[in-house]
């Protein structure tokens, strides 16, 4: 029985080949490492694994018969246990193995049935995977170009920003200059306005007097007419009286 057959035998009892392979490998690796360190690995009923150190000695070459000095060496040794010896010798019989677990058989059958489906799905998915891989490759190739373009465009963008900042500063300076001129011209305008205010008032008064003169004349004329009106009425009355007297005199005659 080799390692693969040992794994298959263990898998038949455990029901899982992967777990059986992991277990066998773990046991072998653990025993090997422990014995290499000089530790003694004893499994009750099975045996003992240990490290045997051989000192330097003289040996004889069986071919030539020449005597040769052998160096100090270490070799692993396995000493079988009493139970193991009895079983091998036939003095003791092992219990019959239980029926192998049916789960692995069912799993293998399912796996064998599902294998063509998985392969078909894999073959169908392969072109899509290739397309995605091609797209990723194109994207990765285009990335340096984009970065280079971005790095080239960065100085232009910085220059544009710097120009905008300079333009804003110039506009701000012009606004400040205008404000300064306005603040300097404000006292002059106020002085001119204060000087021009009396002249405007005099001109307004003259215009008002010019406009009021005809109205005053009209009022005076109305007053004169009103005063002359009673005199005219008195004269009319006297004339009427005289005419009435004349008429009465004429009648008396």
Q: What is the pLDDT of residue 168?
A: 77
Asked whether residue 179 is domain-assigned, the answer is no
Q: Considering the domain boundaries, does residue 72 fall inside one?
A: yes
123 part of a folded domain: no
Residue 16 located in a structural domain: yes
Give me the helix-helix angle, 17-36 and 3-14, nearest 10°.
Answer: 130
Opening angle at CA 48, ends 46 and 52, nearest 5 = 155
87 domain-assigned: yes
Which H or E run includes 154? helix 103-252
pLDDT tens digits, the chain, 253 residues: what are they? 999 999 999 999 888 999 999 999 999 999 999 999 999 999 998 999 999 999 999 999 899 989 999 999 999 999 999 999 999 999 888 888 776 655 555 566 566 666 666 776 666 766 776 777 777 776 677 666 677 666 665 666 677 666 776 677 766 777 666 776 666 666 656 766 566 555 455 444 554 556 555 665 665 557 755 665 555 566 567 667 776 777 766 676 5
Place of tokens 């606004």: 175
Quote the pLDDT of residue 110.
Answer: 62
Q: Does 213 reside within a domain? A: no
Angle 207-213-216 from CA coordinates, rounded to 5°? 140
CATH (domain of 34): 4.10.520.10
The Cα–Cα gap between 29 and 23 comes to 10
pTM, whole model, 2 decimals? 0.38
- Domain hosting 43: range is 3-101
pLDDT of residue 76: 95
Predicted local distance difference test score (pLDDT) of residue 253: 52
pLDDT score for 23: 94
How many folded domains does the chain comprise? 1
Tell me the three state secondary structure of residue 78.
strand
CA 246 to chain centre: 129
251 located within any domain? no
Residue 142: the pLDDT is 63
Residue 38 lies in a domain: yes
Catalogue the long-range contacts made by 69-72 (C-beta closer than 8 Å, 24 or more residues apart).
none
């Amino acid at each position: 029985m080799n390692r693969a057959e040992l794994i298959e035998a263990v898998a038949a009892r455990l029901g899982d080949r992967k777990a059986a392979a992991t277990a066998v490998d773990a046991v072998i690796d653990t025993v090997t490492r422990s014995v290499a360190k000089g530790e003694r690995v004893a499994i009750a009923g099975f045996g003992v694994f240990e490290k045997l150190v051989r000192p330097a000695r003289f040996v004889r070459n069986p071919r030539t018969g020449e005597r040769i000095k052998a160096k100090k060496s270490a070799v692993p040794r396995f000493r079988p246990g009493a139970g193991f010896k009895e079983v091998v010798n036939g003095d003791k019989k092992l219990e019959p193995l239980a029926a192998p677990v049916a789960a692995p058989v069912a799993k293998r059958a399912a796996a064998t049935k599902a294998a063509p489906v998985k392969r078909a799905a894999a073959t169908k998915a392969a072109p899509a995977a290739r397309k995605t891989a091609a797209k990723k490759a194109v994207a990765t190739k285009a990335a340096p170009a984009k970065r280079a373009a971005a790095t080239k465009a960065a100085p232009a963008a910085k220059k544009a920003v710097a120009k905008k900042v300079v333009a804003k500063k110039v506009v701000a300076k012009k606004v400040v200059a205008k404000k300064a001129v306005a603040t300097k011209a404000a006292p002059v305008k106020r002085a001119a306005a204060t000087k021009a205010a009396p002249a405007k008032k005099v001109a307004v008064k003259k215009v008002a007097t010019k406009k009021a003169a005809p109205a005053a004349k009209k009022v005076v004329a109305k007053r004169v007419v009103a005063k002359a009106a009673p005199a005219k009425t008195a004269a009319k009355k006297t004339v009427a009286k005289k005419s009435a007297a004349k008429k009465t005199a004429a009648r008396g005659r």
